[in-house]
Every structure is written in C-alpha cells, then in structure tokens.
Amino acid sequence: MLKDSAQTKERILAAAVEEFSAFGLAGSRIDRIADAARSNKAMIYRYFGNKEQLFDAVFDAMVVATVDAVPLDVADLPGYAAALHEQHRREPRTLRIATWDRLERDGAGTRLPTVREATDDKIAQIRAAQARGQLTAAYSAEAILKLVIALSQPALGPSSEEPDGSGWVATAVRAALGEPAGSPLPTG
C-alpha cells in the first residue's frame, strides 16, 4: 500500500510538472493532471492539498533537483553559471515553472523554505568568499547571486540570438564581475 501511495504521488508530481510548465498555475487544470497521472482529483487533493500547494510541491522538488545537480562553486562563479545554464537547457521546465511563479504569484515560491534556504546558503558562501578576498566586494552578495542566475538563464523557447553552448555565459559573468575574459577568478 505504501509503495502504491509513493508511486501515485510520483505520477501526480510528474504530470503536474508537465501541466504547470506548459500552462502556469492559472491555466493548469487538476483534471488534466489527474488524467495524465492515471489518478483522480481526490487523490491529488489528499496528497497535496489545493492547486497552489501542488505547484509549491513541484517548484520545491525542482529547486532541490537543480541545487543537487549544480552545486554553487564560489571559486568558479563563471563555471557555475555555465553549468547552471546547461542544466536549464537540459531541464527547461524548471525555468518555466520559476517564471510562472514570478509572473502569476509575484515569486511566492521563492519564499518556500527549501528555496529560501538554498538562496541564503549561496549568499552566505558568496559573502564568505568576499570576506576572504576571493570575490569582488564591488557588489553585494545578493547582487552577485542575482547577476549569476540571470546570466545563466537560457532563452525560453527557440532563439537564434543565443550562441550555442554555455561558454559565453562564463565570459559574461567574468565581465560582469570585472574579470578579464578567460581569466580565472582570484583565489585569495
């Protein structure tokens, strides 16, 4: 019974990822999620609560997966940004759901404990690197994180304007942080 429950939850989350990334929170329908998950609406409400809580569960899981896949490396922020860019290209639904969260809920998902903890941890790591002289102090740690994340986001949908690969992302982060192109960040 527990195995069935866990499998049902996994199917619901997988279906919800597809639905929310395609239609956002407002455009998504619980009945479509239930059909795609081979479940029913009552099970979704039982396991996750309402549609917003299901959206939060999806967003939370995607943030955890991204943090696990691409850990912050303050000694190589250009490389981190490039790796994050590649992760978003491999898993564009994460960026789509984060964008829907900002558009439809004014970033309410960024207040989820997991998201907040991941962000706070990254800011603390950047501050520590700044205190050690490894990163520029010309910008706040929060501004550096925002800049790196913003530059790491590929275009949503096909774009002939974006170069292939992610090397340009690393170059852009180096330039934004005041480092010469191709140079490593100072190590202290």
**Is 183 a domain residue?**
no
What range defines the domain where residue 124 resides? 2-176
The pair of three-digit structure tokens given for residue 17, joined into one six-digit string: 């990822």
Question: Residue 62 has what pLDDT?
Answer: 93
Specify whether the CB–CB gap between 25 and 104 falls below 8 A.
yes
**Is 41 a domain residue?**
yes
**Is 89 a domain residue?**
yes
The mean per-residue pLDDT over the stretch 123-147 comes to 95
**Is 163 a domain residue?**
yes
In the chain, what are the helix, strand and coil shares in percent, each to the nearest 5?
70, 0, 30
Domain count for the chain, please give it.
1
Band (pLDDT 50/70/90 cuts) for residue 45 is: very high
- Residue 22 pLDDT exceeds 70: yes
**Is 187 a domain residue?**
no
CATH number at residue 101: 1.10.357.10
Question: Residue 188 has what pLDDT?
Answer: 33
